[in-house]
Structure 1
Amino acid sequence: MNKRIFSWAALALASTTFLSACGGGGGGGGGGVSSDGSAAAAAAAAQQAPSAVAGYTAVSSTVSGGLGYPFGSHQTAYVAGVKPTSATQAAQDAVIRTQYDKWKAAGVRAACGGSVVSFNSSYVTVSEGAGYGMLLSVVMAGYDGQARDLFDGLFRVVRSHPAYNTGYPALMDWRVNNDCTGAGDGWNAMDGDLDIAMALLMADKQWGSSGTVNYKAEALATIAALKAYNMTSDGFTKGLPNAANNRTSDYMITHFKAFRRATGDTFWDQATDKAFYLLNLMQTKFAPNTGLVPDFVINTGTNPTPSPGFVGDGNAMEGFYYWNACRLPWRLASDYVTSGDDRSRVVTAKLVDFFQSSSGGDPSRMQSGYRLDGTSLQNYPDPAFVGPATAGAMVDARFQPFLNSLWTFSAANLAQGYYGTELQLLSLIVATGNWWNP
C-alpha cells in the first residue's frame, strides 16, 4: 500500500460550489453555504494558526522515526473520571488487543483499490465504517505493525468516493456498492466525515504528515468542508430534510474541540456550545425523569423538540434513545476524561443514572433502546448500547461499581458483527485509558 494518494486538500479548500439540495445518508446537510456564505472563507478559517485551548495538552505533533502515541503507552493521563478497577491495566489492554485482532480479521478486507470495513451483503462499506476503522487503526499503531497501511488503505477508498453532490470532494459519498461504485447519490453522512477528520488529525500526531499522505492538510480540507456544508452559521449541525433538524450522535464534542485546536477557528467553540444546549434541553424538558435523549431533534434554531419520526432515518423511532443516540455516552465520556469539561459529565451522568437504576446495576438487564420516559424498546443488552455505557460510567466515581460490572460484562461478551463491534471496541479503548486527542 505504498501507492501515493491524490490529495484533495487544495481542491476542497478552494471549492466555491453552493448547493441548495438536502444531503443524504442519514446525516448530510442541507445547503453548501458556509457560516459566512463563503467556502473560501471557511477554508481560510481552517488554515488559521492553532491557538491554545484550556483543559487539554495535545500530544506533540513532532514525530521523527517513531510513533507519537503507541498503543498501551498511556503517556497522557486522563484529567478527570475513573477507570475500571475490576481488572489490571495489563489485562484490560490485552482485551483490547484481542478484540482488535478479531475485528480486523472479520471486518476488514481489501477492496476498491484500498481497504474497507465491511458493511453488509448489499454495500461494501459506508463512510461511518471508514471513520471507525481509521480511528481504530491510528489508536492501535504500535501494537499493529500494519496499522498505517490499513489507515492509508481506508483513506484511499474515502478519497476515491467523494460526495460529488455536495460540491466538496473532501467529504465522502456515504455508502459504496459491492462493485465499488457510489451508492449514496453523491451525498455525505456527517458522522462518518467527522470521524474521518478526527482520525486524520490523530494520524498527523501518530505518524507525522511528511509521508505518502499529508494527514494534516487532508484533515483541514475535511474540517473546512464540514463547516461549509454540514453546519449552520450559528453552530448547529445540519440534518435532514433541512438544516433545522439534526442527529444527536453528531454532537461530537471531542472532535469539535480538536478542530478548534487544529484551526484556531472559534466557530467550533460555538458548535460545542450549541450541542450542549440541545442536549441539556432534551434532558430537562423532554426526559426529566430519565435524562434520555432522542436520536433526532427538529426545529433546532427555533423550537427544538424530539423528532416525531420519519424525518432523519425514515422510521418511527427517531424521537427515542435508539441506535443513533446510543453512541452519546462514549462520545461525551471521551471528552470528559480528556478535558474535564463538566458539561459532558452532567449530561452523561444523567444517562448513566438511568441505566444503573433501570437495570439494578446489572448490565445483562440493560435494554437496547428506550422511549424518553424509560420504557424499553428491545429486551436485550446489545453491545452497541452496553459498550458506550461502559465509557459513560467513567464520568463519576459514584458509578465505580457499575463501571466495573459493565467492563466485566463487556469483556466477557465481545461483539462480532458490524456496528456493535466498532462501538464496543472504541468505547472500551476509552475505558482502558487508551484514548488520546490530537
Structure 2
Amino acid sequence: MRRAGVPFGEHSVRYAPGALRPSGDPAAADRQVLEHYRRWKAFFLRSGDEVGGRGRCAVFTPDAGHPFVAEAQGYGLVITALMAGADPDAQDIFDGILRHVLAHPSVNHPDLHAAQQDAGGRDAGGGDSATDGDLDIAYGLLLADRQWGGGAYEALAVRRIDAVLESEVHRGTRLTKLGDWSSGRYDEVSRTSDWMPDHFRAFRAATGDPRWDEVLDAHLSLAGVVRTRHAPATGLLPDFVVGTTSGDPRPAPGEVLEGPHDGDYHWNACRAPWRLGADAVTSGDARTWAAARGLSRWARAATGGDPAEIRNGYRLDGTAYGDPGSPAFFAPFAVAAMTEGEGDAGDEGAQGWLDALWARMCGSPPDPARAYAAGVQLQSMLVVSHNYWVP
C-alpha cells in the first residue's frame, strides 16, 4: 500500500491567511474527526454481496428514497481519500466504492453515474445521473490521484470531468444542470448545492480546459446576484434558482422539483456555507470569502451565538420555519465561521462562535438513520480541523 501523499493529520496544505481554526490542540481536533469517521464507516458502509459482489463497497442511505444514491457515493470517495494516512483501509474502501460507481453508469453517458440503486443493487429511477454526485466522484478521483498516484485515478477523473462539462453543465449559461436528463422546463433550473467552486478550480487545473473558469465565474456571479436581489439581509441561497436562461434568475417560486420549499434555504441549500467556506479558506478568493463571512455573521446574530438555535429551514429573509438540531444545517456554518478571521471589522466574538459550533459538532455523533447529515457534518469537520485540501 502506497504512503498517502497528503496524510490526514499532518496539516501540510496551508489555508488562506486569516482562516480561523478551533481553539485548543489541533491533534485533539483530529481525534474528534477520526472518531466521527469511524462511526460513519460503521453505520453507513456496506460491502460484498450487499452491494453486488466481492470487492465492492457503497455508502448506505437509509434516509434517502433509495438505499444507494450518487450523492452518498461521492461523499464516500471524498471522505476516504481525505482520511488516507489515518485509516490503513482508506484506499481499499475508496476502490470498493469506485467499483460500485463504475458498475452503474448513467443510461445517458457511460462516464457518469446512475443516481440511484435499490436494495438489490439494481438501478432505479430511470438510471440517469445527478450532477452533485458526479462532481464529488470526479473530485474524489483527483484526491485519490494525489494520495496514491498510479495514473488510473487521474484518467478516470478527467473522463468524468469532461462528461460533466458535456452533459451536466449548461452550454449557454455555464451553470450546473440537475443531471444529464435535464432539459425542457428544467433547462433553466440550477440547484445551489451543486455550486462547488473548489471543485471547478480543481477541474480546471486537472484538464487545462478554460471553460471551467467560465463555470466558476458564472456560479459566483449568480450567487452574488441572488443574494443581492433576494436575500440582502441574510446572504442565504435558495435550494433552486430558476430563470437562469432568461436573464431573470430568481428563487424557485414554490415547487420546482422536490417540494414547496424549493425557493427557501432548505435541505439542499443548507450546504452552501460549507461549499462557499471551503473554497474561501483554500483559495482565498474574495468573492467566496465575503459570501461565507456574510452567512456566518448573519447566523451568529440570528442565533445570539448559540448553535443550538440554528433551525432546519429559513425563508431567504431569515424567517425560520424548521425545527432546530440537524447537523446538516449547523455544521456548514462552522466552515463559514472560519472566514471571520483576525483583522476584519466586526469580527468580535468570531472565535467563540467557531468554538461553539465545533463543540456542537463534536458533541453530536452520527445518527445511524441519517446518512445525509452525517456526511455533511463529517466533511465540515474535515474542513474546520484544517484537514481539507484541493488537488
TM-score, normalised via structure 2 length: 0.92
Q: CA deviation at 1:82?
A: 2.6
Distance in 2 (alpha carbons) for counterparts of 1:112 and 1:311: 34
Matched, 1:193 2:134: yes
Distance in 1 (alpha carbons) for counterparts of 2:104 and 2:148: 24
Structure 1 counterpart of 2:353: 402
Residue identity in the other structure for 1:294: P
Matched, 1:374 2:315: no
| Deviation by residue 1:241-269 (Cα, 9 ceiling, x = unmatched) | 42211101111000000000000111111
- Whether contact under 8 Å (1:86, 1:408) holds in the other structure is no
Distance in 1 (alpha carbons) for counterparts of 2:297 and 2:278: 18
Q: Aligned runs of 1:63-82 on 2, under 5 Å? A: 65-82=2-19
Unmatched tracts of structure 2, length 5 or more: 342-346
Matched, 1:243 2:196: no
| Deviation by residue 1:195-216 (Cα, 9 ceiling, x = unmatched) | 0000001100000025xxx101
Structure 1 counterpart of 2:86: 143
More relative contact order in 1 or in 2 (CA 8 Å, sep 6+)?
Answer: 1
Q: Aligned runs of 1:202-221 on 2, under 5 Å? A: 202-210=143-151, 214-221=152-159
Query: Which one of the candidate residues 96, 103, 115 is aligned to 2:57?
Result: 115
Cα gap change, 1:352/1:424 in structure 2, threshold over 3 Å: closer, same or farther?
Answer: same
Identity %: 39
Matched, 1:423 2:382: no
Distance in 2 (alpha carbons) for counterparts of 1:401 and 1:171: 43
| Deviation by residue 1:151-203 (Cα, 9 ceiling, x = unmatched) | 01101110111111x2x111111010101110131210000000000000110
- Whether contact under 8 Å (2:112, 2:163) holds in the other structure is yes
- Whether contact under 8 Å (2:20, 2:339) holds in the other structure is no
- Whether contact under 8 Å (2:52, 2:121) holds in the other structure is yes
Structure 1 counterpart of 2:122: 181
Matched, 1:299 2:240: no
Residue identity in the other structure for 1:247: R
Q: Aligned runs of 1:33-44 on 2, under 5 Å? A: none
Q: Aligned runs of 1:212-361 on 2, under 5 Å? A: 214-234=152-172, 235-239=174-178, 240=182, 241-301=185-245, 302-313=247-258, 315-361=259-305
| Deviation by residue 1:42-70 (Cα, 9 ceiling, x = unmatched) | xxxxxxxxxxxxxxxxxxxxxx9422111
- Whether contact under 8 Å (1:383, 1:414) holds in the other structure is no
Structure 1 counterpart of 2:75: 132
Matched, 1:84 2:21: yes
Residue identity in the other structure for 1:158: V
Q: CA deviation at 1:328?
A: 1.0
Q: CA deviation at 1:226?
A: 0.3
Distance in 2 (alpha carbons) for counterparts of 1:312 and 1:275: 20
Distance in 1 (alpha carbons) for counterparts of 2:226 and 2:18: 24
Q: CA deviation at 1:414?
A: 2.6
Q: CA deviation at 1:294?
A: 0.3
Structure 1 counterpart of 2:37: 100
Residue identity in the other structure for 1:371: R
Distance in 2 (alpha carbons) for counterparts of 1:109 and 1:125: 10
Structure 2 counterpart of 1:45: none
Q: CA deviation at 1:337?
A: 1.1
| Deviation by residue 1:333-367 (Cα, 9 ceiling, x = unmatched) | 11111110010011111211211111000001111
Question: Please, which moves more after superposition, 185-194 or 397-406?
Answer: 397-406
Distance in 1 (alpha carbons) for counterparts of 2:41 and 2:21: 25
Distance in 2 (alpha carbons) for counterparts of 1:95 and 1:65: 25
CA RMSD of superposed structures (Å):
1.4
Distance in 1 (alpha carbons) for counterparts of 2:67 and 2:231: 38
Q: CA deviation at 1:381?
A: 2.5
- Whether contact under 8 Å (1:326, 1:388) holds in the other structure is yes
Secondary structure of the corresponding residue to residue 109 of structure 1: strand
Q: CA deviation at 1:80?
A: 3.1
Residue identity in the other structure for 1:120: P
Distance in 2 (alpha carbons) for counterparts of 1:287 and 1:76: 34
Distance in 1 (alpha carbons) for counterparts of 2:161 and 2:257: 23
Structure 2 counterpart of 1:413: 364
Distance in 1 (alpha carbons) for counterparts of 2:366 and 2:322: 17
Residue identity in the other structure for 2:167: Y
| Deviation by residue 1:105-159 (Cα, 9 ceiling, x = unmatched) | 1110112231111112863310000000001100001111111110011011101
- Whether contact under 8 Å (1:80, 1:336) holds in the other structure is no
Q: CA deviation at 1:310?
A: 2.1
- Whether contact under 8 Å (1:172, 1:188) holds in the other structure is yes
Matched, 1:390 2:334: yes
